[in-house]
Amino acid sequence: MATPSNQPLARGYQLQNYTIAKLLSAGGFSIVYLAHDEKDYPVAIKEYLPNSLALRTEGELVQARNEDSVALFRHGLKCFFEEGKTLAHIQHPNIIRVRNFFRANDTVYMVMEYERGRTLQKEIQLKHSRGGVDEKLIRHVFYHLLNGLREVHLNKLLHLDIKPANIYIRKDGSPVLLDFGSARQTLALEQSKLTPMYTPGFAAPEQYNKQDQQGPWTDIYGVGASLFSCIAGTAPQAADQRLKLDKVIKLHDRYGDRYSPELIELISSCLNLDPSLRPQSVHQLQKQLLERGSAPVKRSGIVSILRRKWSVYSSKGQLETE
């Protein structure tokens, strides 16, 4: 039997000094709203509401689905609250700003800056049919994004859900990293009965196994998968499938005439299935992104056109949208 979906708070609902304007997104772990404060300033509010553990059918209060879920729901609530507290102390232009966090309706809310622009995922979809995202733009976006991720790691926090849908490009071209997944990942790892809350293709192999140690190298895999998507237009093969039979396309063979061999090699190293063979720190990765790549390997025009047409055809609709 399918798990009943949670009902979002109604438009116009007053949540402390915030008024709910509309639903932005709803997933298996949380609901995100657009709201306005008492000065009519727009904010995004994330509500802790894991579908498998809690239920709200009518009204405002959140209740555990059953007695077995109470302890786990409270543990996840604590993780979510601690994540919000840590993020609230991180003031960085490339990290989503957490303005406030509080308890209400028997759950927790995280109030974040409402950003205007579009996701990197949308950028990839727009650019891929026209030959792919430009390497200069890729290096610019990820170099600055990694400035923020380095700050996150310095605060002993991991993101654990880096993907193009969670990378926002503001109207001025600067990137910001959204929607941290460390709380939901912690919750899923501690209880095998819960559905894992990671994104196939962007999640590192160690995220599939609670015995494997996670660290900055885990986020670096997500960075590599996002870089891969900028070039190929689609996520790489899911890591758990790669462990059985690695069929990730060779970027150099298909896109070596458009992108520098250094960038392609960097992506390959980030996507190494062995965590110890990936770049071990964001700083190490940034140094390589800052270096100017050598010229792409030129191929005959017809070969390049056929390769790109096949790439566009094979990647339509493949990017993860959750």
Cα 281 from Cα 294, distance rounded (Å): 24
Mean pLDDT of 130-151: 93
CA distance between the termini of the chain: 22
Q: pTM for the whole thing?
A: 0.86
Residue ranges in the chain assigned as alpha helix (H): 67-88, 120-128, 135-154, 182-190, 216-232, 239-244, 251-255, 261-270, 282-290, 301-315
- Tokens of residue 55, six digits: 């239920």
Report the helix count and the strand count for the chain, using DSSP H and E: 10, 11
Q: How many domains does the structure of the chain reveal?
A: 2
pLDDT tens digits, one per residue of 37-46: 999 999 999 9
How many CB atoms within 10 Å of residue 298?
10
Domain boundary among 88, 113, 138: 113
Give residue-wise pLDDT tens across range 266-312: 999 999 999 999 999 999 999 989 887 777 876 655 555 555 555 54
Q: State CA 30 to chain mean position distance.
A: 14
Q: Is the pLDDT of residue 250 over 50?
A: yes
Model confidence over 115-126: pLDDT tens digits? 999 999 999 999
Question: What DSSP designation does 25 have?
Answer: E
Residue 5 domain-assigned (yes or no): no
Q: Are 94 and 226 within one domain?
A: no
Do 92 and 207 share a domain, yes or no? no
27 and 93 part of one domain: yes
pLDDT of residue 133: 92
Q: Domain range holding 29?
A: 19-113
Same domain, 271 and 297: yes
Q: Which of 53-62, 86-95, 198-207, 249-258 has the lowest mean pLDDT?
A: 53-62
Question: What pLDDT is attached to residue 299?
Answer: 61
User: Looking at the domain assignment, is residue 39 inside a domain?
Assistant: yes
Instruction: With beta carbons less than 8 A apart as the criterion, state whether 178 and 168 touch.
Output: yes
Shared domain for 126 and 192, answered yes or no, is yes
Residue 308 vs residue 213, higher pLDDT: 213
Tell me, what CATH number does 71's domain have? 3.30.200.20
DSSP state for residue 95 in the 8-state scheme: B
On whether residue 270 sits in a domain, the answer given is: yes
Give the HSE-up count for residue 171: Cα atoms under 13 Å, Cβ half-sphere. 3
Are residues 85 and 128 located together in one domain of the fold? no
The answer as to whether 177 is a domain residue is yes
In the three-class reduction of DSSP (H, G, I as helix; E, B as strand; rest coil), residue 32 is classed as strand
Give the neighbor-by-neighbor strand order of the sheet with 167-170: 117-119, 167-170, 175-177
pLDDT at 102 over 90: yes
The kind and range of the H/E element at 21 are strand 18-26
The reported pLDDT for the residue numbered 296 is: 81
Residue 31: beta bridge partners? 26, 47
Q: Is 92 exposed, middle or buried (0-12, 13-18, 19+ CB in 10 A)?
A: middle
Q: Domain ends where: 113, 129, 147?
A: 113
Domain of residue 270, CATH code: 1.10.510.10
Query: Are 63 and 34 found together in one domain?
Result: yes
What's residue 306's pLDDT? 52
From the list 80, 69, 73, the residue with the least C-alpha distance to 184 is: 80
pLDDT at 189: 59
Q: Is the pLDDT of residue 314 over 70?
A: no
Which structure tokens are listed for 159? 């993101």
Per residue in 174-212, pLDDT (tens digit) is 999 998 877 776 666 565 555 556 789 999 999 888 777
The residue from 69, 85, 113 where one domain ends is: 113
Across the chain, mean pLDDT equals: 86
